Structure 1
């Protein structure tokens, strides 16, 4: 029997035949890892539920303190149909609602005033009784109704019949021409944009600290050293920011959707399309601002080695976020419009100023384009520069690493 000798087979260098993953693929893989990790945390779902409930409830509570929560109520002793009709006409002319509550005697009406059942009581056509002060919504209609009734009575005493009295009192209202017919809608859009910006930037403080905490944990567990041996630092930084950004955007969308739903249900906004449009606009501008500040938070987390150092290292990032938040109030301050235009184009500030400005006025398309392009350029530049600081800081332990020292170590180590 002949033994057939088999030659040893050479292992195929599959890695060489297979194309190495591209930078985009690496970023996507790292982002997917962050998304899966974050969504598996029970704390995330608990905090998200609490934020949606608290934010939505805070909007709903506003209706309890609204001046229009209930109509003004006037107690009327006896039957005074002429006065009641005149009062209703005055209220309709002002777009308000006044409810006349009849009482049989003055004592019953006074008791109703003391117990808060009515805002005021008309006793005998002349005397009005209030507990402390007559409400503004009731004062002017009550005064004008009393004047109309007294004038009609004087005209009758001079011999005029009801047709003549009606003709004298039937005065056509003046023609009103609004210089800014959409002023109320503009104010509502501006308020919605400003509140949205403030809420999102306050949430960014929370998300930013989570990013810094996650980077610190990876650094403490030495996981990052394994990752940096396989991928470039800017791939790791971009993937982490993108992954946590998707999670943050999901949370923000849920919070804004819940708040808008409650605002529409309780009538805090009169134009649903405007409110929804402003909410979408604020989120759209928030996304590039998030990537800028999230990168800075990740870099800050790479420069520390202890939990208690997060606030110290992230102090400059918090300061920049505060400046961006305050910049959103510039359109309300009455300062020169040129300053507002400039701030709306500055990366990091445009995410808060531009949506408020777009809600207030018609912004030229080319300014919006410039703001978007400058922000994208700033994001790319910050990712490149931040990656050097990120890589240099991750591999150093003990104390707080200076950004300049981290860049020097990354450059000397050939990391990018």
Structure 2
């Protein structure tokens, strides 16, 4: 946990789930820059009356600082929502009667009118486009629109997207490697609806799922095509494993769990991701190909942290190794640890990852050993059994 000192006050903030060993902060210079601008440091303060919407707030830093204005926070991240709740609580903000921050996912209906729109630029340009198009009907000529991000996150394509969908756009000078985006809504703009979700057929080298249709909402990993790691995983999944309860952990668009369900009609597959868009994609993919009657569960959650011990037979996992712009093994380690707790004795965890990440070291430490199922110059598939 760290102290976030701003012109709006000082706040104790942490990422979620909180880990005392994690040195990554719950904010960066772009959050500070935006809050300074809104407060009017060196200029007039921004009028924050009306409906304030904060899009893409990563760990709740913006929502906590602006809680006095009862903002609507829109995010694709379950962890961001949990971090916001926890950070509000640890700073004594809000009460039982009225929530100081209204939490919505990127797939929820946005407010009908937006008077202040604050956008934390996401890594995914597709997610930004989807959100701007969804929000555009609620923006009016008087709406204050300000984006923020680090200089490595704001590109010409980012500015063009704001300009094309909302109106004339300019950027600020860089301060502490962060920039602001200023956009003036143009009432003459008539942006088309979002082109997402995107659908495509799986290629021939994907085993039993070849030719089936995948549905991808904006923002999920490799939303426009199947990533090569998943493609490799699909060619080497366990067949007729006999597992009753299977978990596609970090499911993305759900093709791995769908393949497991096709391989064994008796399997009950649970799809879990912390991304609302990913779980919606997985459900749409699964239902389009296996129909409404096939048993399956779709959870937006912090991995297997809420699963009962000894309740799972097989976990299939392609763990992320980025947390926004930071490269970290913390998420994968938490997924492996929680998988071991959730697996029954004799249950298996199958993991695909880049060879250089060295997941075998963590798995041997947690499970007492692991074996290589398949490998190529870039990827390795590992199998660990709970003893």
Q: TM-score, normalised by structure 2?
A: 0.20
Larger radius of gyration: 1
Q: TM-score, normalised by structure 1?
A: 0.19
Instruction: For CA contacts below 8 A with separation 6 or more, give which structure has more relative contact order.
Output: 1
**Structure whose residues are more often helix by fraction:** 1
**Structure whose residues are more often strand by fraction:** 2
